[in-house]
């Protein structure tokens, strides 16, 4: 049974009547919104020593920022103006505040966080709670452009391009600010600072989504098979992400058959007891275990050798790639 990670009433469309829970939480939403607005207003914004592309979102939880950042990294490399892009991240869940470059030979998710460890498998990645200090380190290390994975609501660093990523299967939920809804800030304030919005796997929910006057582009999730388990076979799936059901749905939509599935809290630290229980079930049924790449990098080498992960990429449409290429050309 999937353990819900976000309130069900967050899913309500703006046409539906607000549930009682959302109404009761409205005063706290106004307080949260006021604190967030004040923090953004009083935060000193510094000009980065390098150009910055920020990949963010307006909602809590996973919208697809991390694979989108990787896809944009590839566009930057192909465009040719910037030869050495790097990722800049907060390093959520890691104990090292940075600024530091992730070293896959020595760092673990305990040090730099699972998402930074995952990104470092694809391109140079810097972790820094202070984004400006992270940008200075990137310059010192010889990189020439920064792709900031998350940090749209962090005003400490000036961005040259800001892309809002929207999950096509969730949209903006009920368009209420936390905790009445999933928004980190109002759509109006966020869209005013963004360059464009990227809708991943657009559905009826996001067919005519209103994100101010922002330009909207489309992208699609693309699976990159890791070799095992093979498609069209039964799997036992588990995930510790913001919306585990999104992972399970992706598996089913791409030919996997879920014998069982288990949801855990976002960034969950799995105990040996939990993993042994999952592995015992898998061995008993003769069915392989599969998880997300973000979950997989948190596992020890022992468990990584026994559990597969689903590698996800974002396929950007030509219009969006041309848009990014043009924006890069206009950066001094």
* pLDDT for 187 beyond 50: yes
Per-residue confidence band for 4, with pLDDT thresholds at 50, 70 and 90: very low
Instruction: Give the count of beta carbons closer than 10 Å to the beta carbon of residue 78.
Output: 10
- Mark whether 202 and 84 lie in a shared domain: yes
Q: What percent of the chain has pLDDT over 90?
A: 77
Q: What is the pLDDT of residue 17?
A: 53
Does one domain contain both 120 and 269? Answer: no
Higher-pLDDT residue of 140, 224:
140
- 145: domain CATH number? 3.40.50.300
> 165 near 70, Cβ under 8 Å?
no
Q: Which two tokens stand for residue 29?
A: 């939403």
- pLDDT value of residue 8: 76
Question: 239 and 198 in one domain?
Answer: no
Q: Count CA atoms closer than 13 A to 109's CA, side-chain side.
A: 18
Q: State the pLDDT at residue 233.
A: 81
Does 86 share its domain with 210? yes
**Domain assignment present for 44:** no
Burial class (CB in 10 A: 0-12, 13-18, 19+), 207: exposed
User: Is residue 14 situated within a structural domain?
Assistant: no
User: Which parts of the chain are beta strand (E)?
Assistant: 52-56, 85-89, 100-101, 125-127, 145-149, 161-167, 196-200, 215-224, 234-239, 257-263, 289-292, 308-316
Buried/exposed 153-183: b ≥16 CB within 10 Å, e otherwise = bbbbbebbbbbbbbbbbbbbbbbbbbbbbbb
Same domain, 202 and 282: no
Q: Give 262-284 pLDDT, tens digit per residue.
A: 999 888 899 999 999 999 999 99
> Do 241 and 141 have their domain in common?
no
**Does one domain contain both 184 and 277?**
no
pLDDT at 227 over 90: no
One domain, residues 150 and 58: yes
Tell me the per-residue pLDDT of 45-94, one tens digit each, with 9 for 90 and over: 999 999 999 999 999 877 899 999 999 999 999 999 999 999 999 999 99
Beta pairing, strands 85-89 & 145-149: parallel
Does residue 264 sit in the same domain as residue 119? no
* Domain limits for position 268: 225-312
Whether residue 183 contacts residue 35, with contact meaning beta carbons closer than 8 Å, is answered with no
Give pLDDT tens digits for 21-44.
Answer: 888 899 999 999 999 999 999 999
Cα atoms found within 13 Å of the Cα of residue 138, Cβ hemisphere only? 29
The answer to whether 71 and 53 are in contact (CB under 8 A) is no
Mean pLDDT of 106-133: 96
| pLDDT (0 to 100) of residue 120 | 97
Q: pLDDT class for 5, splitting at 50, 70, 90?
A: low
What is the number of domains present in the chain? 2
Average pLDDT, the chain: 91
Q: Does some domain include residue 141?
A: yes
pTM above threshold 0.85: yes
Residue 35 placed within a domain: no
Give yes or no: residues 232 and 318 share one domain: no
pLDDT value, residue 12: 63
Please indicate, yes or no, if residue 23 is contained in any of the structural domains.
Answer: no
Q: What is the mean pLDDT of residues 144-156?
A: 96
């Amino acid at each position: 049974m999937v353990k819900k990670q976000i309130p069900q009433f967050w899913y309500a469309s703006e046409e539906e009547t607000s549930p009682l829970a959302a109404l009761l939480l409205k005063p706290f939403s106004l307080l949260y919104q006021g604190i967030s607005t004040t923090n953004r207003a009083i935060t000193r914004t510094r000009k980065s020593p390098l150009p910055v592309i920020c990949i963010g979102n307006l909602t809590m939880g996973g919208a697809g920022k991390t694979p989108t950042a990787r896809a944009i990294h590839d566009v930057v490399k192909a465009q040719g103006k910037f030869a050495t892009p790097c990722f800049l991240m907060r390093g959520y869940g890691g104990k090292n505040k940075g600024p530091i470059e992730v070293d896959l030979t020595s760092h673990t998710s305990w040090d730099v966080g699972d998402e930074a460890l995952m990104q470092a498998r694809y391109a140079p990645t810097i972790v820094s709670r202070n984004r400006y200090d992270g940008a200075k380190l990137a310059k010192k290390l010889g990189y020439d452009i920064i792709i900031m994975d998350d940090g749209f609501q962090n005003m400490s660093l000036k961005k040259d391009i800001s892309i809002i990523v929207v999950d096509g299967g969730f949209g903006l939920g009920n368009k209420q600010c936390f905790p009445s809804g999933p928004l980190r800030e109002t759509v109006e304030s966020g869209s005013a600072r963004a360059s464009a919005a990227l809708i991943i796997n657009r559905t009826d929910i996001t067919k005519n989504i209103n994100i101010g006057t922002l330009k909207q582009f489309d992208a699609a999730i693309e699976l990159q098979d890791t070799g095992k388990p093979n498609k069209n076979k039964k799997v036992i799936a588990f995930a510790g992400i913001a919306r585990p059901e999104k992972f399970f749905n992706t598996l089913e939509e791409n030919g996997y058959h879920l014998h069982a599935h288990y949801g855990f809290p976002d960034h969950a630290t799995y105990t040996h007891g939990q993993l042994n229980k999952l592995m015992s079930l898998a061995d008993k049924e003769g069915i392989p275990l599969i998880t997300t790449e973000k979950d997989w990098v948190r596992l020890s080498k022992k468990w990584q050798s026994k559990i597969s992960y689903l590698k996800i990429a974002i396929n950007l449409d030509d219009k969006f790639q041309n848009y990014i290429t043009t924006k890069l050309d206009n950066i001094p």
